[in-house]
Amino acid sequence: MTSSLDIGRYELKYMVHAEDVPHILEVSAPFVIPDPNGRPLRAGGSGYVVHSTYFDTPDLQSYDSRLNNCRVRRRVRARTYGKPGDRAPVFFELKRKMDDQVIKARAKVGDADLWTRVGDKPWVTFAASAPEASARVAHRFSNVIEQFGLIPVTSVHYDREVYIDPRPEYPKVRLTIDRHITASVRPPPDNLYPEPDIELFPPEWLVLELKFDGAQPRWMRQIVRDLGLVAESVSKFGLSVARGLRADRPREVEMMTPVTVLKRARAAA
């Protein structure tokens, strides 16, 4: 399948310290397996090297909706994986978040190595040549960019370690751990792999994400309880814009930084 729609999935995010990872993996081990499609990562485990290019208006309306903590927020992004030359697929994603629930339309549209060869609006070309199963989402993605005059404002990069529930009746249950989170400011439209400009978090801080639909699995609740974790808003997009494009507004940078990280930094000061 090259196009998908996730409706009402829960995505709970937590900032965790690197020292917490062994316990997380120990508790989850009886219930999940490493994603069989993943590749070995530099810190161990398997998963994906992710590159997400985010689009916004020149005056950053999507960022402002995040800054103002609007109940409903939308994201427009192109995502690929690996490194240049890997012939990784490109996905167009339209994401809408309401409180903790996420609705995401995703379409596989082409080869990342072709992105640099099709002009200054590659999303238009990729949408026009998208496979039939992806065409509807791909055209909608391209039309949103053109209609609202969106531009690439930031590209976020990280290593994502992925664990999934192998039972077919639970396809949306997964645990992910993001490491080495960096960003590139104002990436050129034709480059899905720009060199990072900024490090978003100190290397000892990781993003844990617990994803599920319906009731949260008991083992997830145990991890949260054992480590005293608190779900919080962690926006890689928002923090990358704040630190990369609004660095002269320290209050915004502070607002975009997860509370857990701020508290630990203040305690250590």
By residue range, what is the domain housing residue 78? 3-268
Please list the pLDDT of the chain residue by residue as tens digits (269 residues): 566 666 567 889 999 999 999 999 999 999 999 999 999 999 889 999 999 999 999 999 999 999 988 877 889 999 999 999 999 999 999 988 776 667 889 999 999 999 999 989 999 999 999 999 999 999 999 999 999 999 999 999 999 999 999 998 888 899 999 999 999 999 999 999 999 999 999 999 999 999 998 889 999 999 999 999 999 989 999 999 999 999 999 999 999 999 999 988 888 76
CATH code at position 48: 2.40.320.10
DSSP structure string for 25-75 = HHHHTTT-EE-TT-EE-TTSSEEEEEEEEEEE-TT-HHHHHHHTT-SEEEE
Tally of domains within the chain: 1
- SS3 (DSSP) at 22: helix
